[in-house]
């Protein structure tokens, strides 16, 4: 029993003296903290994306409803023109005006729906960027753990580089600077 306690105590003493372990602890603390901040921001972005998508769906549904109303009015107008009874001229004018109004409203609704879709796509770009940040920082933390176990300086520097790339990507996303990679997004998506 004393042998195990001595071995653990020696390991703790060696770890506390190790420069690599001190650097690993610092890198992990910085990386994990930044990763937590990115996760909060990414959560907010996902909520904004959901809202933009809901708005786009609602707008397209409204567009379809207007299209249906327009189609019914056009068919009624055609029937009135074919029937051509006395007094139907007022209805023909009314339906013609309604068709024109529906066409105008549809164009406005379509522009609004396309705007919501563009908003979603713009937000999604930064969601992908935060997702890539999260992936890089997670990989970095795992590699930092291995660096601590193996005491390999090259692995520490490589892990730190991966972490730095993730932090740069995350900072760019916070500042709404696109460093988006479609290639990486396709692999991760």
pLDDT in tens, 6-56: 666 666 666 556 788 888 989 999 999 999 999 999 999 999 999 999 999
**β strands within 16-175, DSSP E:** none
Domain boundaries, the chain: 2-188
Please tell me the predicted confidence (pLDDT) of residue 105.
92
Looking at the chain, the whole-number percentage of residues with pLDDT higher than 90 is 53
- Position 181 scores a pLDDT of 64
In this structure, CATH architecture of domain 2-188: Orthogonal Bundle (1.10)
- C-beta separation of 29 from 162 below 8 A: no
106-123 in b/e burial notation, b at 16+ Cβ within 10 A? beebbebbeebbebbeeb
Q: What is the arithmetic mean of pLDDT over 114-129?
A: 90
pTM above 0.85, yes or no: no
How many other CB atoms sit within 10 Å of the CB of residue 71?
12
Q: How confident is the model at residue 80 (pLDDT cuts 50, 70, 90)?
A: confident
Question: Encoding tokens for residue 9?
Answer: 């105590």
**Span 127-146, pLDDT tens digits:** 889 999 999 999 999 999 99
Q: Which of 26, 22, 4 is nearest to 14 (CA)?
A: 22
Residue 118 CA to residue 111 CA, distance in Å, equals 10
pLDDT digits (tens, 9 = 90+) for 157-186: 999 999 999 999 999 999 988 876 666 666
Distant-in-sequence, close-in-space partners of 73: CB < 8 Å, separation ≥ 6? 95, 98, 99, 102
Picking from 73, 66, 67, the residue whose alpha carbon sits closest to that of residue 81 is: 73
Closest CA to 132 of 188, 49, 176, 48: 188
Residue 126 has pLDDT above 90, yes or no: no
Euclidean distance between CA atoms 162 and 139, whole angstroms: 8
pLDDT on residue 180: 66
């Amino acid at each position: 029993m004393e042998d195990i306690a001595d071995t653990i105590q020696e390991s703790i003493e060696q770890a506390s003296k190790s420069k690599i372990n001190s650097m690993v602890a610092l890198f992990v603390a910085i990386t994990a903290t930044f990763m937590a901040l990115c996760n909060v921001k990414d959560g907010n972005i996902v909520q904004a994306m959901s809202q933009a998508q809901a708005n786009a769906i609602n707008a397209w549904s409204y567009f379809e409803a207007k299209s249906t109303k327009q189609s019914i009015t056009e068919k009624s107008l055609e029937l009135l023109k074919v029937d051509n009874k006395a007094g139907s001229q007022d209805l023909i004018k009314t339906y013609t005006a309604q068709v024109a109004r529906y066409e105008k409203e549809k164009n406005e609704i379509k522009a609004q729906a396309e705007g919501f879709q563009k908003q979603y796509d713009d937000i999604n770009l930064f969601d992908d960027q935060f997702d890539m940040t999260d992936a890089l920082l997670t990989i970095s933390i795992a590699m930092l753990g291995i660096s601590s176990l193996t005491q390999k300086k090259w692995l520490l520097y490589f892990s730190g580089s991966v972490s730095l790339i993730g932090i740069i990507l995350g900072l760019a996303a916070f500042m709404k600077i696109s460093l988006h990679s479609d290639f990486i997004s396709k692999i991760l998506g």
